[in-house]
Chains A and B, each alone.
Chain A
Amino acid sequence: MTQEELVKIARRKELVVRWAARILGYVVVLGLWEWASGAVIEENLLPGPTRVIQTAVELFQDGAVFPAFGSTLNRIVVGVTLSFFIGAAVGILTQNRWFAGFFKDAITIGLTSPGLIWVLITALVFGNQWFAPLTTIILTTFALVSVNVAEGIGTLPKDTIDMARAFKVGVVRRNRHIVIPHLAPFLFTGIRFSFSIGWKVTVLTEVFTAGSGIGYEMRIAQILFRQDEVLTWILLFFVFALFLEKVVLQAIEDRFFRWRKEIAST
């Protein structure tokens, strides 16, 4: 056997081992889970994977899933959009030194305070008013957006813009070809992280005070001691949010920002 053939065989073997290990991982984890439910902890408290799938199917059939998702998603989208505009406004304002000083502590607090405290404060003050979750989203994410916007504006390539001016390129074309492409990744990052924090904070708020949405469904299920539903709702939303975060946003990012790979977020 030649060197090349030996190397090829070794590589194929390694591939097989890796896939086998991966599949084994699934088997072990799901198997343990299934076994633990019933054997270690009562099935009522810890539903196994099969029970979860059954419950998910039931929930879909009952028509409970889409309206709940719709409510929650609606809040998230509106909240993130508002947060975006407010955060962008603050970010633009902080280009001015005076406003930078004024907002400095607000941004620091916005970046470092745990979301939970805002959830409870708005829940207590606003109760189940429709704008409670929106306020929470804004409070927990505006700082991220403003920091990103500020960074984007602060790093605008002045020399490129001056060059365009020297060549008498109009404002609209300048914006289209220089300013917006430069700012876009920063804005996108801001939105992406806002969304990531936003959905967690929204569901948490709904658990406390909403009358609809996924968090609400979880709370109801918990009150009624339907542990299988609680777990199923958690997993359903988790999978969905993961899907949105990783697949959809990642796809947009890849498509529009292929040329900016180095700014790609974690």
Chain B
Amino acid sequence: MADIKITNLHKEFGVGVDKVVALENVNLELGGHVFVSIVGPSGCGKSTLLNILSGIDTPTSGSMTITQEGAKAAPGYVFQAARLLPWRTVMDNLLFVQSDKSDETRVRCQKYLDMVQLGDKGNKYPGELSGGMQQRVGIARAFSIEPDVMFMDEPFSHLDAITARSLRRELHSMWAETGKTIVFVTHDVGEAVELSNRILVFAKGGRLEDDINVELEFPRDPSDEAVAVAKANVLRKFEELDLVAS
């Protein structure tokens, strides 16, 4: 579990007439065993926020802190595209992000490969796997460093509906089992409602517009009525905030 505190985070690109505000003075706090989804239309700064949180990008102003129990490694990160090293095997890809190559580390990596049903694929190269399988390797990789907080940037948006559905369930059970903080970016409101207990709604221009708590029982079945109602509510919020295409 980790605590994330974001204060007046502001990010803009370009100068003068080309200037684009990606994030506008974002303030938020989250932590504990929570699954937080960030939803919003394209251009609302979701990915930028994640990039800054993971250190790939730096804010123009403002600050953020991530406090983790004990001296832990970096946060885990799952990308939209798997971003595996194509010239290394699956197992080597996992080992690449570890801090050592001891036997315990290998065993741990194998455990997470097993968890995503790819235990026997350790020796394969990414090029030999389907898109869904590569994405699962990415998930295993992020989990395998056993971080307190995980960032996921639309990890299932490039997959077909059936694979995505299956992976959502896998992700949910892994989150339930391991008690992490997961920050999950998606454009799919249904996905957000299915998986998270808190939904942050961003608008174009990087403004945090709303903070919704989803208090349904887990596990949630998308075909369940309560879930559908919750989804409808969130979508209505979108309309209210004038986020639906105009």
Instruction: Give residues in A with beta carbon < 8 Å to B.
Output: 2-4, 6-7
Count of B interface residues, CB-CB < 8 Å = 2
Q: Mark B12-36, 1 if CB is under 8 A from A, else 0.
A: 0001100000000000000000000
Tell me the nearest residue of chain B to A4, going by C-beta. B16
Which residues on the B side are within 8 Å of A7 (C-beta)? 15
Alpha-carbon gap, A6 to B15, bound state (A): 10
Which residues on the A side are within 8 Å of B15 (C-beta)? 2-4, 6-7
Which residues on the A side are within 8 Å of B16 (C-beta)? 2-4
Alpha-carbon gap, A6 to B16, bound state (A): 11
Once A and B bind, how many residue pairs between them come within 8 Å at the CB atom? Answer: 8
Q: How far is the CB of A9 from chain B (nearest CB, A)?
A: 12
Which residues on the B side are within 8 Å of A2 (C-beta)? 15-16
Tell me the nearest residue of chain A to B19, going by C-beta. A3
Tell me the nearest residue of chain B to A3, going by C-beta. B15
Alpha-carbon gap, A2 to B15, bound state (A): 9
Per the 8 Å Cβ criterion, residues 181-204 of B in contact with A are none
Q: How far is the CB of B127 from chain A (nearest CB, A)?
A: 26
Alpha-carbon gap, A7 to B16, bound state (A): 10
8 A-B pairs with C-beta separation under 8 A: A2-B15, A2-B16, A3-B15, A3-B16, A4-B15, A4-B16, A6-B15, A7-B15
Alpha-carbon gap, A4 to B15, bound state (A): 6
Per the 8 Å Cβ criterion, residues 1-60 of B in contact with A are 15-16
Alpha-carbon gap, A51 to B15, bound state (A): 53
Which residues on the B side are within 8 Å of A4 (C-beta)? 15-16
Which residues on the B side are within 8 Å of A3 (C-beta)? 15-16
Q: Which 5 A-B pairs have the closest CB atoms?
A: A3-B15, A4-B16, A4-B15, A7-B15, A3-B16
Q: How far is the CB of B18 from chain A (nearest CB, A)?
A: 9
Alpha-carbon gap, A7 to B14, bound state (A): 9
Q: How far is the CB of B107 from chain A (nearest CB, A)?
A: 50
Alpha-carbon gap, A4 to B16, bound state (A): 6
Apart from the given pairs A4-B16, A7-B15, 6 other A-B contacts in the complex at a CB distance below 8 Å:
A2-B15, A2-B16, A3-B15, A3-B16, A4-B15, A6-B15
Q: How far is the CB of B211 from chain A (nearest CB, A)?
A: 33
Q: How far is the CB of A1 from chain B (nearest CB, A)?
A: 11
Which residues on the B side are within 8 Å of A6 (C-beta)? 15
Q: How far is the CB of B242 from chain A (nearest CB, A)?
A: 30
Alpha-carbon gap, A10 to B15, bound state (A): 13
Alpha-carbon gap, A216 to B136, bound state (A): 68
Q: Mark B87-122, 1 if CB is under 8 A from A, else 0.
A: 000000000000000000000000000000000000
Q: How far is the CB of A36 from chain B (nearest CB, A)?
A: 44
Alpha-carbon gap, A3 to B60, bound state (A): 13
Alpha-carbon gap, A3 to B14, bound state (A): 9
Alpha-carbon gap, A2 to B16, bound state (A): 9
Alpha-carbon gap, A3 to B15, bound state (A): 6
Alpha-carbon gap, A2 to B18, bound state (A): 14
